[in-house]
Amino acid sequence: MASSDLEAYRTYAMMAKPVGARCNLACEYCYYRKEHPAARMSDEVLEAYVRQTIRMHGSKAVVEFVWHGGEPLLAGRGFFRRAVKLQRMHADGRTIVNNVQTNGTLIDEAWAELFAREGFVVGISCDGPRRAHDAYRCDAGGAGSLERVLAGVAACAKAGVRVDGLCAVHCANVHAPRALYEFLRGLFPLVQFLPVCDVVTASGSAHLTDASVDPDEYGSFLCEMYDAWSEDRPEARPVISIFEAIGRMRNGAPAGICEFEPTCGHAGCVETDGSVYACDRLVDERHLLGNVLHEDLAVLMERNRPFGIAKLTGLAPECLSCECLRLCFGGCPTKRFAQASSGVPINVLCAAYRQLFTHISTKSANAD
């Protein structure tokens, strides 16, 4: 394909947070609760963000808008109607896709009708059956949220809206992967697993949070989940992002998920005031790229290149000699808080992913 054709299909992966970290739940493991801005994204910021996002994509590209939070539905239906109107105004022939990531508890018939009318794909957070889900996904009063989540899923299903699942894997569900698989497969055509593995520092020492998964346990979870998934009837099993990504990589294709791509830096995060950050997990002064009200988004994302390249240049020597390097590329940089024998930071989930890669390779070899 000629360079001019590649330019025409140029894409970015942007994430916008229309109400910042504001949320109607108080999930204990949430990595974003440290920020609680009161303001909703203004019409001025929204217009600049939509216009600039579309413009920096190639003329034939599919432009995906991902709305995240906090809880983005707190912005209200009027906000999303304005966003869609602006997208149509500035599309200039490009295909527009909207994806909203929500806890699902606010979705009623009116929200579902809006999503159906405008073709939204909805990602809903669900950690499994009640005991697993409600262990950490509670409101400020301590009440569990599963029943409200399932009502939201049902409203979307009734309206014909596609709903994908985002499942945080934590100490309350990591020990029952097959039960979790059976629960999720009945709700979602696609499931993405998000390991809770965060570190806190207290009394001068760092340790994993109470909700976090032990890396070895997460590895066992992934292996057993893979077995449940691969043994299921192909027409009945959901797409599971990590397994699909590994399959693509084993066939020489890109992973398709940022965690296992060789570089980062193409997926920025836009906050309510128009500030743009290198990654939605790194909303801090060090990773601030600028503001869409003052500079064009294409310029800001170009400024993100050094951050993206550092994913490879910052690898530990142990990673460079590892047979799994071309499958994980060191994993997500935000999880590099374990230490290799060389003293260089390494992904805390390294052992889990090595266990999964080996398991899949062994099963594939035996099947052949």
Average pLDDT over residues 101-126: 98
pTM of the model as a whole: 0.94
Pairing of β 345-346 and β 190-195? unpaired
pLDDT higher than 60, residue 35: no
- Say what the pLDDT of residue 206 is: 67
Percent of the chain residues topping a pLDDT of 90: 83
Of 6, 34, 8, 10, the C-alpha closest to 20 is 34
> Distance between CA 222 and CA 350 in Å, rounded?
13
Mean pLDDT of the 309-319 span: 93
What pLDDT was estimated at residue 339?
A: 87
Residue 328 CA, distance from chain mean position:
16
CA–CA separation, 85 vs 115, rounded Å? Answer: 14
280 in catalytic set = yes
On average, the pLDDT of the chain sits at 93
179 vs 283: which has the higher pLDDT: 179
Rounded to whole angstroms, the maximal C-alpha distance in the chain is 58
Range with the lowest mean pLDDT among 148-162, 202-216, 223-237, 328-342?
202-216
Confidence of residue 311 (pLDDT cuts 50, 70, 90): very high
Exposure of 346 by Cβ count < 10 A (0-12 exposed, 13-18 middle, 19+ buried)? buried
Q: What span, in angstroms and rounded, lies between the C-alpha atoms of 330 and 346? A: 7
pLDDT exceeds cutoff 80 at 216:
yes
Count of residues in the chain: 368
Residue 38 pLDDT more than 70?
no
Does position 324 have pLDDT exceeding 70, yes or no?
yes
**pLDDT for residue 358 is more than 60:** yes
Q: Among residues 43, 134, 280, 296, which one is catalytic?
A: 280
pLDDT of the residue at 95: 95
Contacts of 318 (CB under 8 A, 6+ apart): 340, 341, 342, 344, 346
